[in-house]
Structure 1
Amino acid sequence: MSLSESTLVQSSSLYPSFKNIVESNGGDEFPEDFTQSVFEELTRLPKLAISSHKTREEMPCMPHNPAVKHADEPEQFIAQKSSNHAAASNNFTRNEGRASRNAELSDGKQAAWEGGLRDQGPGTRHDAKIEVKEGQIYRGFVSNMTPYGAFVRLNSPTSFISGLCHVSKMLFSGRTRFRHPQDVVSLNQEIFVRVDGIARDNRNSRRDKISLSMVGVDQLTGIDKLDELDMAQTQEYQQEKRGRNLLKSDLQPKRRRLTSPERWEIRQLIASGAATASDYPDLNAYHKEDMDEADLEADQAVDVELNTDEPAFLKGQMGGNVFFNPMSILKNPEGSLSRSAMSGSKLVQEMREEKSARQRQLRKDAVSARSSNDPVKAMSERDMELKEKTEEVINQWRQKQRSQKAKLDGTNALMSIDEQRRSLPVYAMRTELLQAIRDNQFLVIVGETGSGKTTQIVQYFYEQAINKVGNEFRMIGCTQPRRVAAVSVASRVAAEVGCKVGEEVGYTIRFEDMTSSRTKIKYMTDGILQREALIDPTMLKYSLIMLDEAHERTIATDVLFALLKTACLQNPELKVVITSATLDSDKFSRYFNNCPVLTIPGRTYPVEVLFSREPEQDYLAAALDCVMQIHVGEAEGDILVFLTGQEEIETSVEILNARVRTLGAAVLELIVVPVFAAMPSEMQSRIFEPAPEGARKVVLATNIAETSITIDGIKYVVDPGFVKVNAYDPKLGMDLLIVSPISRAQANQRSGRAGRTGPGKCFRLYTEKAFELEMLPNSIPEIQRRNLASTILMLKAMGINDLLNFQFMDPPPAQTMVNALHELFTLDALDDNGLLTPLGRQMADFPMEPALAKTLLASVDHLCALEVLTIVAMLSVQTVFYRPKEKQAAADQRKQRFHSIHGDHLTFLNVYKAWELSGRSSRWCKENYIHERSMRRAQDVKRQLETIMHKYRLSVNSSDDNSTIRKAFCSGFFRNLAKRDPHDGLYNTLLDQTPVHLHPSLSIYGKSVEYVIYHTLLLTTKEYMHCATAIDPRWLTELAPKFFKKSDPNVLSEKKRKEKIVPLFDRYAQSQDSWRLTAHVEAKQKALGQLQQ
């Protein structure tokens, strides 16, 4: 058979596989004739190896793009890569370039793992079929690590063929700037390695010593780029790293180096006149070398300290300390509730430890199963149990969906939307409400949750054309403290009005605007309206603004109180309505010019309140016991349990499901439904579904169920008495979510949830004494317990400089504002006189915290705005990665492919770039355990931020230099700085030496990084840093000179002055002061005295 005939046969059999590979790598848009021509060209290559059973799962997670620099790639090779990519782009379109990158996989240096290793399954051994050759690239798995390198198994994690990759060959550039291989790789991590050498063993091939290298191997694609490395530049870099000038001429004669005693003697001879300096010409050269080495050591060991200089406008107000204690959120710090909140739930801690132990055992079982080559053993009993539990939950959910759909269809047939509106309590006061708003500019409305005030009042005003001012119809605005509430309420009102969301009824939340020119009723978060006040302080486009859920007293709501009060003076046509389920109506009436108060009677029933006799040691365990007692011993009716957060809720779901399964058919079915703010809206809607016949529903919720949502059918409420609140931590210099006791107003609001549809019971898991003596009457407003830097920046942008006389309903402590002003000063948002700088005015226009806004603007100067925009957009979404319980190990392994050795900010950048290279593929997100919805959200945020950048005509440049990206984030988050203690390896914040820890999920976890900046802190069992990145300490004095300064080696810093040398304990010494010189003198005198006697 001729070559052409064999090629045709090969083409007919392999073309479908080739086409599938191209489509799975983003080539589904290629024309058919183009794909065919590329395949025909490739089949002429002798080294082409296309496996027909190759799947997408086995493909690399990130296609190689020559124009995109890898997070860990040296800067000196970028120019060559960019030029190569530019040359390629002249000949191909974007799609054709993508196909050419797929064609690169047929390169001879890659054929070893492409054609051979990919064919191997995870539980099979085909070592005998693989012939390891020098210079080839192979897929490997890290099996062991030592201080001098990492052992890598080729082909699969269970392969007998393994080699050693030395520490000097574990980075792309060949640089060894790490202390241990674990700083670069981790156990069981999948990597690409090149075989550098093989020492054959003639007796047993398994004893061959294989030398491996990662130098020049792209870890994202497995392509060999060794030819691109400029060895001269690499050698020069290594010379600079060692701090020695090795470029001196080798032709110079070698001379013996004088020792320090010899140099000292020569200097003494010169000083005495016995010799002259000209007799020793090399002495000055030695002196210069000593000074150069000293300077080099000083550069490498940079020590910084806080700059305590006060700005002119804050002279004498800092009190010598930048820290302050905000208003306490605890009435009795020594009470039983406070102690229980500080200690936390032991049940959660035990469950967390049990989960960790179970995961370790699962990993151990998986390794054991692979080593014994037993596929049956790999599916352990725990996996089977988890699979059965998952199937049970899915079937249960489907059953509830069918039941709910049938009930809704029946309900809608019996009652129309208009009849539902008329049945609400607020309808009876419709006429009185309309008359009150016509006669008054301000109105306070108090109504129970579920009375219809949020959805109906704005419709009454719209239907009666109260929004008409002259001949113009203006908008009616309604604020909500939460984004979830704004979206869900707008959807409901749009359905009642008979339009689509975004037409007559719309909503606006951060980074999402669903309004149009037709919109007349607009729901929004209070933060959005606060930002609108920057552009329109008199609110001319609104005829009426309703501040809903005003009792929550968020910072934005409190600021809006004062802004709207001022706007009404300048805009007499504007009307303001304040609504809430529970608030101090007299206080609000006095603040708003003694306006009238209307109370909407609710459909409430009597609720029996039961207190605990003794304080509970573990509030979560007591709450779950109470749920089971209600389920077993009380009449029918659903249960509502108030918990503090997501971890407590998820733990409770597992425990309750396990307990119900244990009881079996002895009790009714118990359907456990969680709800918290981070859940998707479609998941939150499940709590409104009624329980099937013969079953009881228990809702585990945060304080979102107090007033923001109404759940019908609740008859029993379990109230442990705790809530998570945002409070400023002066030691860490940032806001933290902490568990604290609720207020008495919150407790009464929770108990009222049990009396919505009939008589109910409220089980308070605290004593009546604690209710009276340990709970505050009302919650402390956010403005008195949180950092106000963002709020003050916005007020300054509005031209409000007299903050002390600003009309706050509850003014924040003066020291709180002083600290916020100092933070803005260090961010260069304020000048020495406390006035807004041009940079500060630009920062105020970005809908984010000042530190992030400063980072974005600094990225323009560092020429990396596009990368920073991407990272900021990724930080704005809640979760990017997810870890299914049954595939946690696989998810972790996929996530490691995106890790950057510099930190998590660059890891997010790698993820976004890879997602774009995949064509924003849903399949790619699923394969890499990434939330597609989060990626789409990040894309929208990035576009809106780019719009703001273009508004100020800021150039959005791109850079391949990772150090500039890290510099940009350091310029904004320098306050969130932690330094590693070289003795114990722990981190301490530079603000107050508070111990913090790297979270195990971070990309730099386990690496020896001296200085890191972090985005936020997660307070669980420890204070964990979230999203941390390594920085160079020399950047601090350059990027934040108002906050840091270089330590003077001749002056002891305040920190060092506080340090005290303490001797080690000597168990054999009669006195622990026996080491002191005075003790020796006293002992000698005592001995002499004894001799004289």
Structure 2
Amino acid sequence: MQEIELKKWVSDKLMLLLGYSMPEIVLYVLGLSEQALSPAELAQHLEDVGLSASSKTRSFAEEIFKKVPRDKASSGLNLYQIQEREAMILARKQRTHTILEANVDDDDSVGDAGNRKCFRKRKIEEQEGDEKGKQVKRQIEERLGDQRENNNVKTLRRISRQEYLKKREQKKLEEMGYDIQDEEYLFEGVKLSEAENQEMRYKKQVYELAKKRSRESDNDMGEYRMPEAYDGEGGVNQERRFAIAKQNYRDASAGDEKKPFAEQSAWVEQQIKRATLNLKNHKNPTSDEYEFVFEDDVNHFINATTMDCDKFEVESPIEPNLVDEREALPIYTFRDQLLKAVCDHQVLVITGETGSGKTTQIPQYLHEAGYTKRGKIGCTQPRRVAAISVAARVAQEMGVKLGHEVGYSIRFENYTSEKTVLKYMTDGRLLRELLGEPDLASYSVLMIDEAHERTISTDILFGLVKEIVRFRPDLKLLISSATLDTKKFSDFFDSAPIFEIPGRQYPVEISYTKAPEANYLDAAIVTVLQIHVTQPDGDILVFLTGQEEIETAEEMLNQRMKGLASKIAQLVIFQIYGNLPTERQAKIFEPTPKGARKVVLATNIAETSLTIDGIKYVIDPGFCKMKTCNPRTEMESLLVTPISKASAMQRAGRAGRTGPGKCFRLYTAYDYHNDMEDNTAPEIQRTNLANVVLTLKTLGISNLMNFELMDPPPVEALLKALELLYALSALNKSGELTKIGRKMAEFPLDPKFSRMIVASDRYKCSDEIITIAAMLSVGYDIFYCPKNKKLLADSAKMNFHRGHVGDHIALLNVYTSWKETNFSTQWCYDNFVQVRSMKRARDIRDQLEGQLERVEIELTSNTSDIEAIKKAIASGFFTHSSRLLENGSYQTVKHPQTVYIHPTSGLSHGPPKWVIYNELVLTTKEYMRQVTEIKSEWLLEIAPHYYQLKDVEDSGSK
């Protein structure tokens, strides 16, 4: 048995016999067993040192006596036992020697043969003793040498860590300064709110304090400091070190304060100062004085723009006007009735108009009623924008720091702490939490808000929490909806009672167009200007389909306002959509400047998730972007489609929040009554289900066909999801989760992304693959292209595609180049790269790196082997492969379909024979996005279970 295994075995046995174990005790027991001549003698020794005289001790002695090798008696001895054995050998040597008298002749002592024989025997024993003594001495020296080496390593590690922390502190301080400079540059000339100005002043104050603390820690603080072993610049140049050392002993006539023995004098003075009793009264520090905390001070400078909530803790006082606003909400009148209904029923369906206070007030009422004493209150939102903004508002109303008692959690961003009792999160995040806590034991109340949105995650949550409340009678479940169609929710949850909150809805005048509009975007701009010129004060809300359309509309408004600037009042334009940075999202809630009118250009996020005060006019073109997926081809289409009647009513209702309003519908009354659907189709019936199926399988739900859903998905979509997961090796032939599948489920990504990361362990390139996955997760807004600098922007983008490497490797090149510049903001400006997208990619990558350890994947880098990186990518996207045709188009290998490389791809001008792609999108054509060249034989190597030789045979004409 190996020595390590033997020690572990002895340690385990000692734990059973004594209840504890230590390395010294293990070595001691091994030493006893090596010296013992029999198991009985060993058992007696063990009983003498404290083990109980029992059959277990005797059995332990017999087992260890058999396991310890008898020919290596010294291998398990500790230092003291070795010294003891050396002393025993020396004593034995002394006993074998006799003292020779000086007057005895040598010839007489060895005169006869018997004496000579005894003499030879004694000499042999003496030589053996010397040899054993030398051997023991060598063992002692080796052990002492190892001990000294270990001590030296520990010391070097400590010194290295200290030097690293010094450099890291300076680096983080520089990053903080750069962030402040970036914000000043970005918002130069932009009118900021008082809250934003206060935040900027706070950051600058923290930065100045940190710089001051760094300077003072480097200077002489009036205390003696040991001179460092390095030169003035942290190097190890011997001549410079000695030169610096001599500076303390220069002649006093040189004009400085240094004198001979200055260091000794400084040390003595410092000790006297500390030992002197100071009886003076301590004055209270003034407001301009600060106390610095030096322990773990490096943590204070980690990413100051998103500083952790437990740093610089400042409680926000509750503003009096916030209390008045809370009491003015429609829900306040029904507070007591609502709490009684929650107390009487485990499941409650709550309905009320958007703006009645459901999202912000109900969790606070439950907190005030004591529900947080036995668990958190969780509130889900379908969009991350809503989760962030609502959490910030509730924290402000409660007078607490965001991230303390009130926090939020979205994908790749967790702003909560151990103090958090009110937690706002996206429905997808709660699904991820269910993987680690299937019974949601840490929650006392769960509120699924905006249930009418019917996102895929919300529908899955309905089925899961319905099962949870059946075996957790202490869990309260609230289903909140802004529509009146709540009977369907009530029926699904076993006829749960419905609690209605009457809204504070003012009358809204609805106008239709006489004929359909040919260009609804242009019609919306004209309507905005007409309202601004002819209608009384009141802000305008315009519903558009997406970010690109919103930015186009803003540009059109600015162009048309230039010619009218001197004739009409100011028009302040704001945007709101899902990918907008948080600080820009908050601007829509700011009061409108006096003498101006605010225009908010929004997606359908403003239908129900957000309430913007001051809106009196709503312009509704009648369209939204809806994502649909063809389960057979996996082609996703983000198509502009007509909205439903329910959405149209929600949009009109935004105009009646604070007073009578008007809604201008840019479609005819006939279209509304005859062509529009009553409700929007649930997302679960029109999207890819692979991620959902993987999550349900991880939760132990094997019978997907019988899983309760409010609206079951198409059977074809469910079967295609199972086929894809089987192809990715996430499921076996029986439909059960594999080891690879469990690893994939740990990543909050699409299964193809997760499979790519798991495969990177095989190709030793996990560092590069998680970077690519993070960049892909950000979306397609990595680059931006100003119209007046299009050639420069295109040239900068193509620099990253140099070598025809493909879009995935180009994204890796972008991140690597940015990292090499120390994450420079100026580098992003120079290369037309979105700095905020890059920072988000960095945050996502850091979290993915943390997940690698959980799934036992080593972080390895293999930058030079592009082929290995491409194979890892293909391991996740081998189902998305296509070959080049003679006419320049491509044909997908499985389920043949004609597709094209997207014009934004770096491979669009030199199409390779074989490619894999990230996704298919349908716009003007069926386009492949994020394309990388591969070799056809890789498909057989990576997925022999999916492709046959005939599938990947190259023809000479292709």
Give 1:534 shift.
Answer: 1.6
One-letter amino acid of the counterpart of residue 651, structure 1:
T
Supply the distance in 1 between the matched residues of 2:858 and 2:594 (Cα, whole angstroms): 62
**TM-score, normalised via structure 1 length:** 0.57
What SS does the aligned partner of 2:563 have? helix
Counterpart position of 2:489 = 588
Q: 1:979 aligns with which of 871, 883, 888?
A: 883
What SS does the aligned partner of 1:698 have? strand
Counterpart position of 2:814 = 911
What SS does the aligned partner of 2:600 have? strand
1:503 aligns with 2:404: yes
Counterparts of 1:795-874 in structure 2, within 5 Å, are 795-874=696-775
One-letter amino acid of the counterpart of residue 333, structure 2:
A
Give 1:637 shift.
Answer: 1.9
One-letter amino acid of the counterpart of residue 978, structure 1:
S
Counterpart position of 2:581 = 680
Supply the distance in 1 between the matched residues of 2:819 and 2:588 (Cα, whole angstroms): 36
Question: Which of the two has higher C-alpha Rg?
Answer: 2
- Could you list the runs of 5+ residues in structure 2 that have no partner in the other structure? 1-159, 164-185, 199-316
Supply the distance in 2 between the matched residues of 1:765 and 1:1010 (Cα, whole angstroms): 47
One-letter amino acid of the counterpart of residue 321, structure 2:
S
Supply the distance in 1 between the matched residues of 2:196 and 2:698 (Cα, whole angstroms): 50
One-letter amino acid of the counterpart of residue 928, structure 1:
N
Counterpart position of 2:390 = 489
Supply the distance in 2 between the matched residues of 1:838 and 1:969 (Cα, whole angstroms): 20
1:961 aligns with 2:865: yes
What SS does the aligned partner of 2:705 have? coil
On the 8 A contact 2:637/2:923 being kept in 1, the answer is: no
Superposed CA offset, 1:143-176 (max 9, x none)? xxxxxxxxxxxxxxxxxxxxxxxxxxxxxxxxxx
User: Relative to 1, partners in 2 of residues 1:1049 and 1:796: Cα closer, same or farther, differing over 3 Å?
Assistant: closer
Q: 1:1012 aligns with which of 915, 923, 929?
A: 915
Counterpart position of 1:572 = 473
What SS does the aligned partner of 1:673 have? strand
1:433 aligns with 2:338: yes
Counterpart position of 1:452 = 357
One-letter amino acid of the counterpart of residue 445, structure 1:
I
On the 8 A contact 2:573/2:599 being kept in 1, the answer is: yes
On the 8 A contact 2:616/2:660 being kept in 1, the answer is: yes
On the 8 A contact 1:996/1:1023 being kept in 2, the answer is: yes
On the 8 A contact 1:480/1:549 being kept in 2, the answer is: yes
User: Relative to 1, partners in 2 of residues 1:502 and 1:1047: Cα closer, same or farther, differing over 3 Å?
Assistant: same
Supply the distance in 2 between the matched residues of 1:964 and 1:1049 (Cα, whole angstroms): 20
Counterpart position of 1:378 = none
Supply the distance in 2 between the matched residues of 1:607 and 1:689 (Cα, whole angstroms): 24
Supply the distance in 1 between the matched residues of 2:414 and 2:435 (Cα, whole angstroms): 17
Supply the distance in 1 between the matched residues of 2:928 and 2:494 (Cα, whole angstroms): 47
User: Relative to 1, partners in 2 of residues 1:662 and 1:731: Cα closer, same or farther, differing over 3 Å?
Assistant: farther
User: Relative to 1, partners in 2 of residues 1:667 and 1:621: Cα closer, same or farther, differing over 3 Å?
Assistant: same
The percentage of aligned residue pairs carrying the same residue is: 49
On the 8 A contact 1:731/1:991 being kept in 2, the answer is: no
Give 1:554 shift.
Answer: 0.6
One-letter amino acid of the counterpart of residue 938, structure 1:
A
Supply the distance in 2 between the matched residues of 1:863 and 1:854 (Cα, whole angstroms): 14
Supply the distance in 2 between the matched residues of 1:608 and 1:657 (Cα, whole angstroms): 28
On the 8 A contact 2:631/2:716 being kept in 1, the answer is: no
One-letter amino acid of the counterpart of residue 416, structure 1:
N
Give 1:514 shift.
Answer: 1.6
What SS does the aligned partner of 1:603 have? coil
Counterpart position of 2:823 = 920
On the 8 A contact 1:551/1:583 being kept in 2, the answer is: no
Superposed CA offset, 1:72-121 (max 9, x none)? xxxxxxxxxxxxxxxxxxxxx99x9xxxxxxxxxxxxxxxxxxxxxxxxx
Counterparts of 1:407-806 in structure 2, within 5 Å, are 415-468=320-373, 473-730=374-631, 732-806=633-707
Supply the distance in 1 between the matched residues of 2:602 and 2:939 (Cα, whole angstroms): 43
User: Relative to 1, partners in 2 of residues 1:934 and 1:403: Cα closer, same or farther, differing over 3 Å?
Assistant: closer
Which is richer in helix?
Answer: 2
Supply the distance in 1 between the matched residues of 2:347 and 2:686 (Cα, whole angstroms): 28
**Which moves more between the two structures, 643-652 or 548-557?**
643-652
Give 1:897 shift.
Answer: 2.8
On the 8 A contact 1:403/1:692 being kept in 2, the answer is: no
On the 8 A contact 1:506/1:523 being kept in 2, the answer is: yes
Give 1:838 shift.
Answer: 1.6
User: Relative to 1, partners in 2 of residues 1:1049 and 1:483: Cα closer, same or farther, differing over 3 Å?
Assistant: closer
What SS does the aligned partner of 1:716 have? strand
Counterparts of 1:97-112 in structure 2, within 5 Å, are none
Supply the distance in 1 between the matched residues of 2:787 and 2:552 (Cα, whole angstroms): 14
Counterpart position of 2:793 = 891
Give 1:467 shift.
Answer: 2.9
Counterpart position of 2:300 = none
On the 8 A contact 1:731/1:994 being kept in 2, the answer is: no
Supply the distance in 1 between the matched residues of 2:571 and 2:554 (Cα, whole angstroms): 11
- Could you list the runs of 5+ residues in structure 1 that have no partner in the other structure? 1-92, 97-392, 407-411, 1060-1093
Supply the distance in 1 between the matched residues of 2:839 and 2:567 (Cα, whole angstroms): 47
Counterparts of 1:295-314 in structure 2, within 5 Å, are none
Supply the distance in 1 between the matched residues of 2:519 and 2:789 (Cα, whole angstroms): 32
Counterpart position of 1:1003 = 906
Give 1:572 shift.
Answer: 1.1
What SS does the aligned partner of 1:1044 have? coil
Counterpart position of 2:935 = 1032
On the 8 A contact 1:611/1:764 being kept in 2, the answer is: yes
Counterparts of 1:188-267 in structure 2, within 5 Å, are none
Give 1:652 shift.
Answer: 1.4
Counterpart position of 2:833 = 930
What SS does the aligned partner of 1:665 have? coil
Supply the distance in 2 between the matched residues of 1:695 and 1:1043 (Cα, whole angstroms): 62
Specify which structure has the bigger relative contact order, considering alpha-carbon pairs within 8 angstroms and separated by 6 or more residues: 1
Supply the distance in 1 between the matched residues of 2:845 and 2:701 (Cα, whole angstroms): 30
What SS does the aligned partner of 2:704 have? coil
RMSD: 3.0
Counterpart position of 2:805 = 902
Supply the distance in 1 between the matched residues of 2:318 and 2:853 (Cα, whole angstroms): 52
Superposed CA offset, 1:231-290 (max 9, x none)? xxxxxxxxxxxxxxxxxxxxxxxxxxxxxxxxxxxxxxxxxxxxxxxxxxxxxxxxxxxx
Superposed CA offset, 1:876-910 (max 9, x none)? 22433333444443333333332242212111222
Give 1:424 shift.
Answer: 1.5
What SS does the aligned partner of 1:835 have? coil
On the 8 A contact 1:544/1:574 being kept in 2, the answer is: yes
What SS does the aligned partner of 1:691 have? coil
On the 8 A contact 2:746/2:855 being kept in 1, the answer is: no
Supply the distance in 2 between the matched residues of 1:942 and 1:669 (Cα, whole angstroms): 43
Counterpart position of 1:144 = none
Superposed CA offset, 1:399-457 (max 9, x none)? x8589999xxxxx9995322222122111111011111111110111121122111111
On the 8 A contact 2:318/2:397 being kept in 1, the answer is: no
What SS does the aligned partner of 1:728 have? strand
Give 1:659 shift.
Answer: 2.0
Counterpart position of 1:181 = none
One-letter amino acid of the counterpart of residue 883, structure 2:
K
One-letter amino acid of the counterpart of residue 820, structure 1:
A
User: Relative to 1, partners in 2 of residues 1:787 and 1:620: Cα closer, same or farther, differing over 3 Å?
Assistant: same
**TM-score, normalised via structure 2 length:** 0.65
On the 8 A contact 1:404/1:690 being kept in 2, the answer is: no
**Which moves more between the two structures, 753-762 or 616-625?**
616-625
Give 1:992 shift.
Answer: 4.6
Supply the distance in 2 between the matched residues of 1:401 and 1:995 (Cα, whole angstroms): 52
